[in-house]
Amino acid sequence: MSTAVKMPQLGESTVEGTIARWLKAPGEAIAKYEPLLEISTDKIDTEVPAPADGTLLEIVVPEGKTVAVNTILAYIGQAGEKPTANAQTEPAIAQPSATTRNVPAAQASALPSLKPAGRAFISPVVARIADEHGIDLTGRSGSGLGGRITKKDILAWVDAQALAQPSDQPILSPTETVPPPVTPVPTTPDADETLQPLSAMRRAIAQHMVLSKQTSPHVTTVFEVDMTTVVQHREANKAHFAARGITLTFMPYFVAAVAQALREVPEANSRFTAEGLLVKRRIHIGMAVSLPDGLIVPVLRDADEKNLSGLARAVNEAAARARSGQLTPDALQGGTFTITNHGITGSLMGTPIINQPQTGILGIGAINKRAVVRTSSTSLLPSADDAIVIRPICYLSFSFDHRVLDGAKADLFLSKIRAQLENWQNK
């Protein structure tokens, strides 16, 4: 009897996937657990192995098509056998391997999906975007399976709604004229251009960044931080951590400082809704990790409950899994705040974009030695107590949702982070 290959559920929130590439053609022999196809879901492209030995009899879903979880994608059986309607119906795809195309792999669920499909299902992301932009989904049909409304659909409706609102147009003086509309860039490259197709990850990042700027009024505040005590602590403890198999980087210090600041300024650990702020009780900090095709944000759960050693180990493991393609989709879900270390490439300061639906994101600039003035005088006038000293300095930039935080509260939050770092205590 033939075996049905089904679309796996790659994480709790996944309801559909796109066939990125078939690795076998009909008629080819395949061994159980041998890579059979690649599936794309948002930022993650996953290599899925065959559920059984045999021959690939038929491909039901072609490359590029998006289908719901548990949809039959293909049939595997004996050479010459015809796929039958009564093929094995239990979930047949084994957990995918960790080999991917430049992006993390995920493990498929072994249980059938019980989520509703078609127009009856509205994902939390779609529901949130509709609520924030006042879009009524009643009676609407989307481009997903069975008329399901996808994220792409709701974003298109948001764009259409924005274009239809005259209030979004700039107020012009009597002597000003409305500028002509911007002509879309042609998709056919000129003779001196080369079209580089977007990867699934790059497309997802682009959509998410545009959505964030459309959703939240971004404001960025920047503080200078003296990292002397942190640098001293790290230098004194690197060898001790290494003996336990832990690489002590600066990131765990920042995570610990942010976690404490989120406890003291809980509004920064919330998200905006039309009814009010939803303040998170738990602190799950996302850490941006750079990959060849973009970046991905694994989540360090309950970061405030870990000491420096626990955070260092968690940071190491999350970064290693991200770069080796071993993250699951659920490892990217549920973050309440995000940190991005753009200073690793030498950047001094930046204005990072908020990771929706969070309220803020912290950008960490490069830590460099600088000449700074230290004094015991409270006056800004030159004083005999003034001294020019060399200190390791870093700029922290906090981009925040102005609907949630005003400047004073945002500066208070960032000052809490600075105080933690400048007065580091062994934790």
Instruction: Give catalytic residue positions.
Output: 402, 406
Tokens 């994902």, located at residue:
123
R_g of the chain, CA atoms, integer Å: 26
Q: What is d(CA 368, CA 261) in angstroms, rounded to the nearest whole number?
A: 24
222, 400 Cβ separation under 8 angstroms: no
134, 355 Cβ separation under 8 angstroms: no
Classify residue 315 by its DSSP letter. H
List the structure tokens of 263: 């406890």
How many CB atoms lie under 10 A from the CB of residue 190? Answer: 7
Q: What is d(CA 406, CA 382) in angstroms, rounded to the nearest whole number?
A: 34
Q: What is d(CA 171, CA 177) in angstroms, rounded to the nearest whole number?
A: 10
Q: Which of 210, 203, 200 is nearest to 159 (CA)?
A: 210
Q: What is d(CA 13, CA 19) in angstroms, rounded to the nearest whole number?
A: 18
List the structure tokens of 144: 């997903």
Sheet strands (E) in 135-269: 218-226
Q: What is d(CA 13, CA 69) in angstroms, rounded to the nearest whole number?
A: 11
Q: % helix / strand / coil in the chain, to the nearest 5?
A: 30, 25, 45
Q: What angle do CA 27, 32, 37 make, to 5 degrees?
A: 60
List the structure tokens of 2: 């033939």
Beta pairing, strands 337-340 & 285-287: parallel
SS (H, E, C) 173-185: CCCCCCCCCCCCC
Q: What is d(CA 393, CA 308) in angstroms, rounded to the nearest whole number?
A: 21
In terms of residues, how long is the chain? Answer: 427
Q: Where would I find the H helices in 244-373?
A: 251-264, 308-324
What amino acid is encoded at 286 in this protein? G
